Amino acid sequence: MSIRNFVFATVLLTTAVSASALTAQQGKMGTCNAQAKEQNLSGDARKAFMKTCLSNAPAAPAAKALTPQQEKMKSCNADAKTKGLKGADRKAFMKTCLSGS
């Protein structure tokens, strides 16, 4: 009798786990469909979007405004790259550039 209960519990647990996984996938499908509809995608564009959306890869982050410090860092990095600085010279340049001196 205990083997029967064990088998029943195993089947019940397996069913519950697969049902919750299916629900998560269905939720993701619903979200992706809604996003595709908002963007008025159709045909190959919709197919490509859905493939990306439904994959486990994180979505590309939306472009957001950089803080003033991030803007300064970006500018100083570009200047250092243009000047071809490396190593200690680059470090010294970045320090002065970021400090505003």
* Domain identity same for 6 and 45: yes
The predicted pLDDT at position 93 comes to 94
Residues 14 and 49 in one domain: yes
Domain-embedded: residue 59: no
Containing domain of residue 89, as a range? 68-99
How large a percentage of the chain has pLDDT more than 70? 72
The answer for residues whose C-beta is within 8 angstroms of residue 75's C-beta and 6 or more apart is 97
Query: What is the pTM (predicted TM-score) of this model?
Result: 0.38
Q: Is the dihedral of CA 4, 8, 11, 13 positive or negative?
A: negative
Q: Domain for residue 47, yes or no? A: yes
Question: Each residue of 37-82: pLDDT tens digit?
Answer: 888 888 888 888 888 888 865 555 556 788 888 899 999 999 999 9
* CA pseudo-torsion sign 65, 70, 74, 75: positive
